[in-house]
Structure 1
Amino acid sequence: MTIAGTAGRRVHVRAPGKINIAFDVGDVQPDGYHDVASVYQAVSVYEDVWARISDEFSITVTGDIDVSGVPLDESNLAIRAARRVAERLGWRGGIHLDIHKGVPVAGGMGGGSADAAAALVAVNEVLGGGLTTLELQELGAPLGADVPFAVLGGTAIGTGRGDELAPALARGRFDWVLVTSAEGLSTPAVYRELDRLRELPDIAPERGVPSADPIVLHALRAGDPMALAGAVRNDLQEAAVSLRPRLVDTLRAGRRAGALAGLVSGSGPTVAFLAADERAADELAADLAASGRAGSDILHVHGPVAGARVVSA
């Protein structure tokens, strides 16, 4: 593939983080993975990625958050995404990526996946590839279940490994207050803990095929945060709390401060609190900040927002 007249071109793409409004996890499969049913919502905290043509594949990372744990080698999801697009388009040169992170690292909000989604869109744009959104989602799926959703954005149901997406209607705006943690949680470790906890003797019913709760979907369609509050759930929450017991204190603090509901987002440790409206979220964030959550940042975000989009080219 030959690209003419674009050597100095730099494409800027922004992709959102996500929360899991509902997360139903099936039993571990023979390959070690779990089937899930997730209701994703993209929220207004972002990763920014700039791509330009280079002699090799390389990356720099800055951020509004601690980025010391972000890999700068071939294990970085954004580099892997850039390579996948380049290979698909037959590009034999390199790509340099500059990433500025706003989504908490290892926080259960899909920041690395958002980087990958932004890289898919940016490299397609800088190379003039013309790949569709669906084609970019398919390229991103092998990189992780959250990557296709970060391309799509909005609100969606993810099944299978979480990457088989169906858009879900969500009317209006939902306001969330996020309490982040300076210390992340490993997603594989949380799933291992979930499997360990499920092996303990109990009388719980057998788990069938994971499915999205229709009550959640109805509340989203109605734009009703009160109804949604009674239905949010996360099967990974118990495992995340087991590994990070102080999350219990955060969850209690949010409920005392007036949150309609609170849950661990994804594999954690970010905790998402649902508020009645924008004003209630501002008050909730202020109350939580005043309570002095050591080692935490408190963010008021809203959703749904768009997926990975070109900001400038």
Structure 2
Amino acid sequence: MTIAAAQPSVHVRAPGKINLFMRVAEPGDDGYHDVATAYQAVSLYEDVVATPAAGFEVSFSGSVDVSGLPVDDSNLAIRAARLLAEETGVTEGVHLAIDKHVPIAGGMGGGSADAAAALVACDALWGTGLTKDELHGLAARLGADVPFSLAGGTAIGTGRGDRLSPVLATGSFHWVLVFAEFGLSTPAVYGELDRLRGEGQVPPDSVAPAGAPAVDPAVLQALRAGDPGLLAGALHNDLAAAAIGLAPELDEVLRLGASAGALAGLVSGSGPTLAFLAEGADEAISLAVTLSSAGHTAAHVHGPVHGARVVR
């Protein structure tokens, strides 16, 4: 069927994310790993403007290098738009103009944010009126991080990371992100983790869990208390050893952040973006200046923030 566009264009903003905690199980028979992770959406955003078009198109701009991004049907945002159209019977197309600020292949879910924003934007553009649960169902079919990009805030993710349970986080946490000039392939990082575990080369706290992975209750306690000092002691990422094994220079930056006053630092997701937790906004600004002075690209962000939503 044909649905008249509800608006001439729709602007949606979706956040990047960091993983405050990540435990990774051994790969299953299908090669995928179950995880238990604590997500937090942070104030580094992707902006997507959807306008009517004859087909499905995407274009990119932004503060990151977008020259290598696909603009065909392999692009996750295009896949999101097509999936929504197929599920709702829409026969129109859409042009998605994406202004990117989340690093590409950086472990912050930038592509997932684009897909979540595309779902929300196309739903509004076409007037399809899907419920939050229906959009979540489509998001889960697109990738493990897409549902969280829709929801935002702070949440526990289990399974592939797409089964979400919201978490109460009091107040705001301040982070300094350090962006690498290169990306890391998520499958490559998981493969390296499997190799390191097989050779007994991971730290004791990153050995594969005996049963289903779970988030440490100390993470939830710290978030509820709004206490960055408590949270600093609970941060963990099983993938860190693998990411550092593939990019050893990350370890030097983690050491620099610790010496410059960060409460704690960790690899975000599969990396190579690093996230340093600060006591507050002033401390985060000072840390960002120190890291920038050392030649790194650093940004102060805060979280939690909302998920993909229309910008009025």
State if a TM-score over 0.5 links the two structures: yes
State how far apart, in whole Å, the 1-side matches of 2:122 and 2:200 are: 50
**Superposed structure 1 runs of 4+ greater than 4 Å apart:** 202-206
User: Per the alignment, do residues 125 and 114 of structure 1 end up closer, same or farther by CA in structure 2, a change over 3 Å counting?
Assistant: same
Does 1:253 pair with 2:256? Answer: yes
Amino acid at match of 1:266: G
Q: Which residue number in structure 2 is paired with residue 2 of structure 1?
A: 2
Amino acid at match of 2:283: A
Q: Which residue number in structure 2 is paired with residue 264 of structure 1?
A: 267
State how far apart, in whole Å, the 2-side matches of 1:53 and 1:202 are: 52
Structure 1 residue 143 displacement after superposition: 1.4
When the two structures are aligned, how many residues end up with a matched partner?
A: 308
Share of identical aligned residues, percent? 61
203, 211, 215: which one aligns with 1:212: 215
Q: Which residue number in structure 1 is paired with residue 140 of structure 2?
A: 141
Q: Which residue number in structure 1 is paired with residue 57 of structure 2?
A: 58
Q: Is the 8 A contact 1:133 1:152 kept in 2?
A: no
Alignment of 1:42-53 (within 5 A): 42-53=41-52
Q: Is the 8 A contact 2:157 2:164 kept in 1?
A: yes
State how far apart, in whole Å, the 1-side matches of 2:76 and 2:277 are: 30
Does 1:109 pair with 2:108? Answer: yes
Does 1:286 pair with 2:285? Answer: no
Structure 1 residue 245 displacement after superposition: 0.3
Q: Which residue number in structure 2 is paired with residue 13 of structure 1?
A: 12
User: Per the alignment, do residues 55 and 30 of structure 1 end up closer, same or farther by CA in structure 2, a change over 3 Å counting?
Assistant: same
Q: Which residue number in structure 1 is paired with residue 66 of structure 2?
A: 67
The secondary structure found in structure 2 opposite 1:229 is: helix
State how far apart, in whole Å, the 2-side matches of 1:68 and 1:182 are: 14
Unmatched 5+ stretches in structure 1 = none
User: Which whole-Å deviations, capped at 9, do the CAs of 1:102-159 have from their partners, x for residues lacking one?
Assistant: 1001100000000000000000000111111221111011211100000000000000
Amino acid at match of 2:291: L
Q: Which residue number in structure 2 is paired with residue 95 of structure 1?
A: 94
Amino acid at match of 2:213: P
Q: Is the 8 A contact 2:116 2:146 kept in 1?
A: yes
Unmatched 5+ stretches in structure 2 = none
The TM-score normalised by the length of structure 2 is 0.96
State how far apart, in whole Å, the 2-side matches of 1:241 and 1:118 are: 31
Aligned CA RMSD, in angstroms, stands at 1.3
State how far apart, in whole Å, the 1-side matches of 2:38 and 2:10 are: 30
The TM-score normalised by the length of structure 1 is 0.96
State how far apart, in whole Å, the 2-side matches of 1:26 and 1:4 are: 46
State how far apart, in whole Å, the 1-side matches of 2:52 and 2:59 are: 14
State how far apart, in whole Å, the 1-side matches of 2:176 and 2:300 are: 5
234, 242, 246: which one aligns with 1:243: 246
User: Per the alignment, do residues 201 and 135 of structure 1 end up closer, same or farther by CA in structure 2, a change over 3 Å counting?
Assistant: same
The secondary structure found in structure 2 opposite 1:150 is: helix
Amino acid at match of 2:44: V
Amino acid at match of 1:88: E
State how far apart, in whole Å, the 1-side matches of 2:81 and 2:4 are: 19
Q: Is the 8 A contact 2:47 2:100 kept in 1?
A: yes
The secondary structure found in structure 1 opposite 2:31 is: coil
State how far apart, in whole Å, the 1-side matches of 2:23 and 2:293 are: 34
Which is worse superposed, 273-282 or 90-99? 90-99
Q: Which residue number in structure 2 is paired with residue 22 of structure 1?
A: 21
State how far apart, in whole Å, the 2-side matches of 1:198 and 1:150 are: 30
State how far apart, in whole Å, the 2-side matches of 1:305 and 1:217 are: 17
Q: Which residue number in structure 1 is paired with residue 301 of structure 2?
A: 301
Q: Is the 8 A contact 2:5 2:52 kept in 1?
A: no
Q: Which residue number in structure 1 is paired with residue 193 of structure 2?
A: 194
Structure 1 residue 206 displacement after superposition: 5.7
276, 286, 300: which one aligns with 2:279: 276
User: Which whole-Å deviations, capped at 9, do the CAs of 1:208-265 have from their partners, x for residues lacking one?
Assistant: 2110110000000000000000000000000000000000110000000000000000
Which is worse superposed, 33-42 or 130-139? 130-139
User: Which whole-Å deviations, capped at 9, do the CAs of 1:78-119 have from their partners, x for residues lacking one?
Assistant: 000001111111011211111000100110000000000000
Amino acid at match of 2:71: L
Which is worse superposed, 74-83 or 131-140? 131-140
Which is worse superposed, 132-141 or 186-195? 132-141
Q: Which residue number in structure 1 is paired with residue 311 of structure 2?
A: 311
